[in-house]
């Protein structure tokens, strides 16, 4: 219903005909004069538009009027229905022409978000919606959103115009949803299993039942990547409480939903790592531990932290926890190397347990020759949980032909990290699946490692790259593409 009360008629013959207004209790005003409606009809504009006209055709409109207002209504309006039919059809065709012109303009410039004509909001039918969606896909979506699975549809779409979620899904209007990611690297899915385990754990903590059992979830995600033909990129997937209404309680939800999308966009993180990144300490309050340890869609604090960093002209901002200890970045972990060669990693009891940093801490000896780590030990911290595992031998000194090479790490400590000891560290780095390892060269305007990327951070980045390219079979799942994607 338009704000001006325009009559809404069927899209086959009528439209929101702006020439008709209510002149009185029993009269309708048209451009060429006033028509008197059968006595007793006495419709307000709202009732005329919403109850009688709606989107029905002429014959159905007459029968609806008769049902709502009596037989006299049908006789009384039949004459002016016939008279306005042709006028309204011309009006509709003209409006369609304006829509087509607007769409054509949008295709060659910026998409039109909320088209309007003569002060009236357009009412679309299904075919028009699909046409408009197809014509208004923004360039980034067209080039980078390669495939989407939706449990609502029960399948995969590869047209970005069809990638949508229902408005009444609680994941959208209540934020009752969890998500996770996995990297697509050289035609393989890297680290899908641990990420999927975290998704299942997050869903349990969020009180969301899984829409499928784990094996089926995994297969659906692999199938989505296969349909995308993407050789490089990221798989991102959500489990939501589901659709069913706009209330707060998820009891109204019909079932939980799964959505997954393949994004082929890749930043040149190697170039970013080579120059290093600049960070500040965030002033945005960190999430409470109960929520910070769940990977939910509640990323408003994270988004505000990024805005804060961008406003300051730096790359990222770092959170401190409720006790003033170093916590994490907006979507990655943070670590330090002190002067004694100890890798300092904040404990995971109050932050999201990062898959990438845990992978780094748990890599086994297979990447290098054994016997290179006589003096490299791990300091265990009870609060660290699964992260306090044996460090990869790659992080320890390598002795070959009598000479020692590689970064010197005497120990790894997973536990509380104070701001004071963090600022005294010789290296600082950010670690996450989307960035791998990024050396920090400046923190709150102070240079780190003399303002150049630290050698240990760059070595850790190389280790993760090597694992992505040739790690254990269980960590790398070859994507069964229907046709091998073009390199």
pLDDT tens per residue across span 163-179: 999 999 999 999 999 99
> To which H or E segment does residue 133 belong?
helix 126-135
133 inside domain:
no
Task: Catalogue the active-site residues.
Answer: 295
Supply the DSSP symbol for 243: B
Q: Helix, strand, or coil here: 379?
A: strand
pLDDT digits (tens, 9 = 90+) for 231-273: 999 999 999 999 999 999 999 999 999 999 999 987 788 999 9
- Please check whether residues 309 and 358 belong to one and the same domain: yes
Distance separating alpha carbons of residues 320 and 255, to the nearest angstrom: 38
pLDDT of residue 443: 98
DSSP string, 32-99: TEEEEPPTT----HHHIIIIIITT--HHHHHHHHHHHH-HHHHHHHHHHHHHHHHHHHHHHHHHHHHH
200 inside domain:
yes
481 inside domain:
no
- Please check whether residues 281 and 386 belong to one and the same domain: yes
pLDDT of residue 392: 45
**Domain boundary, last residue among 246, 263, 280:** 263
- Please check whether residues 201 and 218 belong to one and the same domain: yes
Question: How many structural domains compose the chain?
Answer: 3
Let me know: does 55 contact 11? Beta carbons within 8 Å: yes
Mean of pLDDT values over 179-186: 96
292 inside domain:
yes
- Please check whether residues 152 and 43 belong to one and the same domain: no
CATH number at residue 317: 3.20.10.10
- Please check whether residues 60 and 183 belong to one and the same domain: no
**Domain boundary, last residue among 210, 233, 263:** 263
Whether pLDDT at 96 is above 50: no
The domain of 39 spans 7-114
Whether pLDDT at 124 is above 50: yes
Share of the chain above pLDDT 90, in %: 58
- Please check whether residues 257 and 170 belong to one and the same domain: yes
Q: Which of 393, 254, 418, 463 is nearest to 324 (CA)?
A: 418
Whether pLDDT at 474 is above 90: no
CATH number at residue 219: 3.30.470.10
Work out the number of other CB atoms within 10 angstroms of the CB of residue 94: 12
- Please check whether residues 278 and 355 belong to one and the same domain: yes
Whether pLDDT at 384 is above 60: no
48 inside domain:
yes
Between the ranges 125-134, 200-209, 372-381, where is the mean pLDDT highest? 200-209
479 inside domain:
no
Mean of pLDDT values over 108-121: 55
- Please check whether residues 32 and 175 belong to one and the same domain: no
Whether pLDDT at 448 is above 90: yes
Distance, CA of 375 to chain centre: 44
- Please check whether residues 76 and 170 belong to one and the same domain: no
pLDDT of residue 189: 96
- Please check whether residues 301 and 254 belong to one and the same domain: no
- Please check whether residues 428 and 363 belong to one and the same domain: yes
pLDDT digits (tens, 9 = 90+) for 133-163: 999 999 999 999 999 999 999 999 999 999 9
pLDDT digits (tens, 9 = 90+) for 404-417: 455 567 888 999 99
Work out the number of other CB atoms within 10 angstroms of the CB of residue 275: 13
Tokens at residue 18, please? Answer: 């702006």
Bridge partners of 352?
none
> To which H or E segment does residue 300 belong?
helix 300-311
């Amino acid at each position: 219903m338009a704000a001006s009360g325009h009559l809404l008629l069927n899209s086959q013959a009528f439209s929101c005909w702006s020439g008709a207004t209510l002149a009185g209790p029993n009269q309708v005003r048209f451009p060429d004069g006033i028509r008197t409606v059968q006595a007793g009809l006495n419709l307000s504009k709202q009732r005329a538009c919403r109850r009688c006209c709606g989107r029905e055709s002429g014959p159905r409109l007459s029968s609806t009027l008769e049902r709502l207002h009596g037989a006299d209504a049908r006789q009384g309006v039949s004459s002016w229905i016939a008279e306005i039919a042709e006028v309204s059809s011309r009006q509709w065709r003209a409006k369609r022409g304006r829509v087509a012109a607007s769409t054509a303009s949008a295709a060659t410039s910026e998409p039109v978000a909320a088209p309007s004509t003569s002060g009236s909001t357009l009412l679309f039918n299904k075919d028009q919606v699909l046409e408009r969606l197809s014509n208004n896909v923004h360039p980034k979506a067209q080039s980078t959103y390669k495939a989407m699975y939706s449990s609502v549809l029960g399948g995969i779409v590869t047209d970005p115009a069809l990638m949508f979620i229902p408005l009444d899904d609680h994941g959208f209007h209540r934020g009752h949803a969890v998500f996770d990611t996995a990297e697509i690297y050289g035609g393989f899915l890297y680290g899908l299993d641990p990420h999927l385990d975290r998704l299942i754990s997050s869903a349990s903590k969020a009180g969301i039942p899984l829409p499928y059992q784990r094996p089926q979830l995994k297969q659906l995600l692999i199938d989505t990547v296969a349909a995308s033909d993407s050789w490089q990129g990221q798989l991102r997937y959500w489990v939501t409480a589901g659709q069913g209404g706009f209330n707060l309680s998820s009891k109204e939800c019909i079932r939980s939903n799964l959505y997954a999308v393949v994004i082929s966009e890749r930043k040149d993180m190697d170039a970013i790592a080579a120059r290093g990144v600049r960070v500040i300490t965030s002033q945005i309050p960190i999430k409470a531990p109960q929520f910070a340890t769940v990977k939910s869609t509640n990323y408003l604090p994270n988004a505000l932290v990024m805005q804060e960093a961008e406003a300051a002209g730096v790359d990222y901002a770092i959170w401190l926890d409720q006790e003033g200890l170093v916590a994490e970045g907006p979507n990655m972990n943070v670590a330090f190397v002190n002067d004694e060669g100890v890798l300092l990693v904040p404990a995971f009891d109050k932050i999201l347990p990062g898959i990438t940093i845990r992978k780094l801490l748990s890599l086994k000896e297979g990447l290098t020759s054994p016997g290179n780590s006589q003096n490299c030990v791990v300091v265990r911290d009870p609060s660290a949980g699964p992260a306090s595992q044996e460090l990869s031998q790659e992080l320890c000194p390598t002795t070959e032909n009598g000479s020692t090479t590689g970064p010197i790490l005497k120990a790894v400590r997973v536990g509380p990290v104070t701001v004071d000891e963090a600022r005294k560290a010789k290296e600082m780095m950010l670690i996450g699946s989307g960035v791998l390892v990024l050396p920090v060269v400046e923190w709150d305007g102070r240079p780190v490692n003399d303002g150049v990327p630290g050698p240990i951070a760059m070595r850790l980045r190389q280790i993760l790259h090597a694992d992505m390219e040739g790690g254990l079979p269980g960590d790398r799942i070859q994507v069964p593409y229907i046709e091998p994607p073009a390199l």
